Amino acid sequence: MSAFDFKVTAQDGKEVDLADYKGKALLIVNTATGCGFTPQYKELQEMYEELKDKGLEILDFPCNQFANQTPGTDEEIHTFCTGRFGITFPQFKKIDVNGEDAIPLYKWLTANTKFEGFDGIAKVAMNAVAKKMDKDFKKNGNIKWNFTKFVIDREGNIVARFEPTADIAKVKACVESVL
């Protein structure tokens, strides 16, 4: 199984077959509009502008499962992201990434990766938040917070998982390694 075996729903409600992205490297990210990590949209857009012609697609999946930080309709979320951050990469319908209602793509991503820990200055705070939501958070692949990123190679294989606290330069270096 690969990322290209899944179908998802675009922000406008149309079904998208991820097989349409075969041959491209993907950066799949669950996002939020009202999160401390929301400014990462700027860095993601900069990466997209720099690397899209080399074969990168960033797939943005808004999610409201973490402290209700993504309120609003799909259209309101899209308007916010394009207006505030100028995003031009594909944005999808708001989804669940964990639990019974998680979309199949995210069930596959979390079943095939491990949580490797938070990095940087936010590590202690994020550990406390994650532990409050899931006492066994260190032992499962569930998404811990907004802006978790998955790098997918051109064949649809998961190459790496980055938590929201990861340095974007590390994420970019990993993406460049699969381009």
State the pLDDT at residue 11.
92
At 34, the pLDDT band (50, 70, 90 cuts) reads very high
Residues 63-84, mean pLDDT to the nearest whole number: 96
State the pLDDT at residue 113.
97
Residues 109-133, mean pLDDT to the nearest whole number: 94
Whole-angstrom distance, CA of residue 171 vs CA of residue 173: 5
Q: What are the residues whose beta carbons fall under 8 Å from the beta carbon of 57, sequence distance 6 or more?
A: 21, 24, 25, 26, 27, 89, 90
CATH code of the domain covering residue 17: 3.40.30.10
CB atoms within 10 A of CB 85: 18
Q: State the alpha helices, DSSP H only, in the chain.
A: 40-51, 74-85, 104-111, 123-133, 168-178
Q: Which phi and psi angles does 15 have, rounded to 5°?
A: -75, 135
Provide the domain limits for residue 132: 3-178
Amino acid at 90: P
Whole-angstrom distance, CA of residue 55 vs CA of residue 73: 30
Please give the tally of structural domains in the chain.
1
State the pLDDT at residue 3.
98
Q: What are the residues whose beta carbons fall under 8 Å from the beta carbon of 35, sequence distance 6 or more?
A: 66, 67, 69, 70, 145, 146, 147
- Write out the catalytic residue numbers: 35
**b/e burial code for range 131-166 (CB count within 10 A of at least 16 → b):** eeeeeebeeeebbbbbbbbbbbbeebebebbbbbbb
Give burial (CB, 10 Å; 0-12/13-18/19+) of 167.
Answer: exposed
At 169, the pLDDT band (50, 70, 90 cuts) reads very high
State the pLDDT at residue 55.
98
DSSP state of 87: -
Nearest of 149, 153, 157 to residue 119 by alpha carbon: 149
State the pLDDT at residue 64.
97
